[in-house]
Amino acid sequence: MIDTHCHIYLEQFDDDIRQVLNRAAGAGVSHIFMPAINFNSLSKMDDLHHSSLVFHKMAGIHPTEINDGIETTEEELYEYCQKDDIVAVGETGLDYHWSTDFKSEQKELLHTHCKVAKSLKKPIILHNRDSTEDMFDIIEEEQDGSLTGIWHCFNGSADEGKYAIDLGLELGIGGVLTFKNAGVDESVAQLPLKHMMLETDAPYLAPSPKRGKRNEPGFVQYTAKRLSEVLDLSLNEVLKETDKNALQIFGIQT
């Protein structure tokens, strides 16, 4: 199993990181992809090591960081993202849930992240909360055939999922898939597995039956199981396809 979106470097894991990583490896996780919240995230990522896990770094500015005054330039972002150990640009995107006062700043920085992603031919990792229409508008504007990326924590309708795929995006399937009454399972059931990959967003959004607890990479197994049920496929089929999709979009050779 591959966890394509995990903030394993955050302080929520400081007290038991070794046990968390051991549980992940024991559950069958092989790769953990780590999106940045800001550039300070990168040094924390470098401290992670485990004999059975491969860690991959991303660089970018989370949209809610912009609300707190964090800024960057295209030149600075490019400088971070062009490094060989950075596999993707992000996470970036739009978040209107906590505040709509910074829409223009968030949009501008999403454009910047898209430009850097295209110039480096690396995927962009998209956070989207209460902002789907604006996200689509920007991706449509930036898409010149070279932009690839993942709609992280996909929670849209089936039509929105299909449109995202048409725009060149893949879908990150996380714990929300397992939530009763969220409706994500109904949307995902109508979408092609070849455009999906698994994620946790740990320490956030733990899947059922761990909902309400701190999420961790080993819990990706519960999302994988639910995805196999939703698509009426074997767990092995789901893991084989989502692993392949993940390694392909990030350009990882195994």
- The full set of domain ranges for the chain reads 2-250
Q: What is the pLDDT of residue 244?
A: 98
Joined tokens for residue 191: 């979408």
By C-alpha distance, which of 55, 57, 59, 56 is closest to 38? 59
Contact between 157 and 182 (Cβ < 8 Å): no
Report residues of the chain scoring pLDDT below 50.
Answer: none
Kindly report, residue by residue over 171-208, the tens digit of the pLDDT.
999 999 999 988 999 999 999 999 999 999 999 999 99
Alpha helices in 167-219 (DSSP H): 184-188
Quick one: which H or E segment has residue 204? none
| DSSP-assigned beta bridge partners for residue 198 | 173
Instruction: Fill in the amino acid letter for 118.
Output: K
By C-alpha distance, which of 43, 41, 45, 62 is closest to 53? 45
- Residue with structure tokens 């392909």? 248
Q: In the CATH scheme, what architecture does the domain 2-250 have?
A: Alpha-Beta Barrel (3.20)
Q: What is the pLDDT of residue 182?
A: 86
